Amino acid sequence: MRFPYWSRLLGTALLLFVGVASYGCKDFLDKPPQGALDEGTLANQDGVEATLIAAYRILDWNSGVGGAWGTAASNWVWGSVTSDDAYKGSEASDQPAITDIELYNWTTGAADGYLNDKWRGSFEGVVRANATISLLNSLLEEDPEAIGQADRDGIRGEALFLRAHFHFEAWRLWENIPYYTEADTTYYKSNQGVDVLGNIIADLEAAEDLLPTTPRKGDVGRVTSWTAQAYKGKVQVYAGDYSSALATLRPIESGGPYALEADYSRVWTGFGEYANGPETILAYQASSNDGEPNGNNANYGERLNFPHSGSPFGCCGFHQPTQNLVNFFQVDAAGLPLALSDGNWNARDENLDAAASANLALDPRLDWTVARDGVPVKDWGAHEGGWIRQATFGGPYSAKKSIYESASGAVSNVGWTNTQLSSMNIHVYRYADMLLLLAEAEAEAGTPSEACRIVNLIRQRAGVAAQGLGTDAGSIAVPIDDPSITWANYQVNPYPSGSCSDAATAREIVRTERRLELAMEGERFFDLRRWGIAETTLNAYVAAESGRRDFLTGAAAFSGRHSLYPIPTVQIELSRVEGEDRLVQNPGW
């Protein structure tokens, strides 16, 4: 977290958590093992606070404690690569498990291992949140005055929020999961008949009641009552409870602390002055150059997602935008998405480099999302073909949102290929996402004109600035019609009055805008799944895209079983008690 004492306490927090998780071994030879902490070390406010920080740390679970790319805060493996937004990228021989995931071959041994990492990461977060609550309860039982009321409420509220978040992360992949609280004494709970979303909402409501409206202790990065309320609205939209979502989210738009950033360049940025800006609801607080010798506190989960050797970043060329996604940013003569008015919007097969797009009408968000040949990459110079690891496999484009600015000073000075690591925060949930969820609820609940109003707020911000020449920090963002721009004819206009006259039209407008605004942010697959259009959309995508990328001919047909990921084999085996599997595999797997 970007708390003032984050770097100082992180290592301690992880060590303290080991002590919390090891209570059951305390009686071994009737003395604590060498190098371990006893209960007394934890029995104070610092111990509880450090354990809570250890729970926050799991927002991006990296190889420092197990897992890696499959547990990235952005969900790029599970939410982007499995959708029409991104290829795995890089080359076939590197991280082949992600290729299996991309091709919907989810029962291979390699893919199963990645799924297990995500399962472990999600429930590690749950365990750490519950450990915080248990430790707090134990401390207050011994000494009711040990922690002041404001801090005890805040600690409990933050832990409840994190418990809800980590369960939601697991639910989005598997749906059929157990729900664990601090009162549980067994880790062999069933995943059948569990009201997971009901439990998540209950935890979020409890957190909302306990948390202050501003970050506790003034530590930017901590969750607040507003964070819990906004997250509850997201869960309600996922549940299809649109009327409740409206009641939850409308007050946030009208009177909450959040706002859209002034322009898109401030959304994904390494500049510290824009970190945790008005658009941030929940973010992984990356930290670089804080004394951790391997850079593991930086945005480790994104480190593969930079242009390869030949670029300023050195490695590794994963998470490459698809041709389908690039084509989706074309606009019509009215400055509206071409995909809504022209059935041939996806006909372009060739590399859309600067020369090919010089006179093409494009949404400016394309070049905040996708790094294209001849177009500046923030302030690093123009993207080049030599930055691509294997264009015949992953295509000619690079991911751009994970790239920090050269002038930001965010780069890590340590770690393997340190130029892949930075202190740039990773958004888990941002205000534009929330606004579009509210717009979706408006469309589905009978107020489609409100859906268009909200979408137009997003589009108006998109039209404020475009990627400029980027020769210095001041020229990264320029007006979309700046004469220095020679690689596109940027246009993005609001929908005219009356465009959202019915629910069906409003629905398509909102869904289109979610893809444009949130592309490559790990949301797309989960959106397609909950909308019930994943099978149709993704099979059509593979049919068209396999003509562009040969490896996609190996994709399995997306079917009903792919609506849920298979539960990792080892987790089912570990759940077995007296011959009974407490975890039941998802249908079709």
**Could you list the residue range(s) of the whole structural domain that residue 50 is in?**
6-307+423-546
Model confidence pLDDT, tens digit, residues 476-502? 999 999 999 999 999 999 999 999 999
Distance CA 414, CA 296 (A): 9
Flag whether 284 is in a domain.
Answer: yes
Flag whether 211 is in a domain.
Answer: yes
> Which pair of tokens denotes residue 519?
């592309």
Helix H, strand E, coil C: the string for 30-89 is HCCCCCCCCHHHHCCHHHHHHHHHHHHHHHHCCCCCCCCHHHCCCCHHHHHCCCCCEEEE
Per-residue pLDDT at 8 exceeds 50: no
Flag whether 555 is in a domain.
Answer: no
Per-residue pLDDT at 11 exceeds 50: no
Flag whether 384 is in a domain.
Answer: no
DSSP 404: P
Q: What are phi and psi of 434, to 5 degrees?
A: -60, -45
Distance CA 40, CA 2 (A): 28
Contact 106, 77 (CB under 8 A): no
Confidence of residue 63 (pLDDT cuts 50, 70, 90): low
Model confidence pLDDT, tens digit, residues 183-213? 999 889 999 999 999 999 999 999 999 999 9
Flag whether 404 is in a domain.
Answer: no
DSSP 238: H
| Cβ burial, residue 35 (10 Å; 0-12/13-18/19+) | exposed
The model's pTM is: 0.94
Confidence of residue 467 (pLDDT cuts 50, 70, 90): very high
Flag whether 344 is in a domain.
Answer: no
The span from the first CA to the last CA of the chain, in angstroms, equals: 38
Model confidence pLDDT, tens digit, residues 398-444? 999 999 999 999 999 999 899 999 999 999 999 999 999 999 999 99
- Cα angle at 527 between 213 and 389, to 5 degrees? 105
Distance CA 317, CA 91 (A): 8
Flag whether 388 is in a domain.
Answer: no
Residues 6+ apart with CB under 8 A from 12: 50
Distance CA 560, CA 64 (A): 36
Per-residue pLDDT at 38 exceeds 80: no
Residue 5 has what pLDDT?
A: 37
The H or E element containing residue 357 is: none
The CATH code of the domain that includes 519 is: 1.25.40.390
Per-residue pLDDT at 30 exceeds 50: no
Number of domains present in the structure of the chain: 1
Flag whether 413 is in a domain.
Answer: no
Residue 133 vs residues 155, 183, 204, 514: alpha-carbon distances, Å: 8, 10, 15, 36
Model confidence pLDDT, tens digit, residues 343-391? 999 999 999 999 999 999 999 999 999 999 999 999 999 999 999 999 9
Mean pLDDT of 117-127: 95
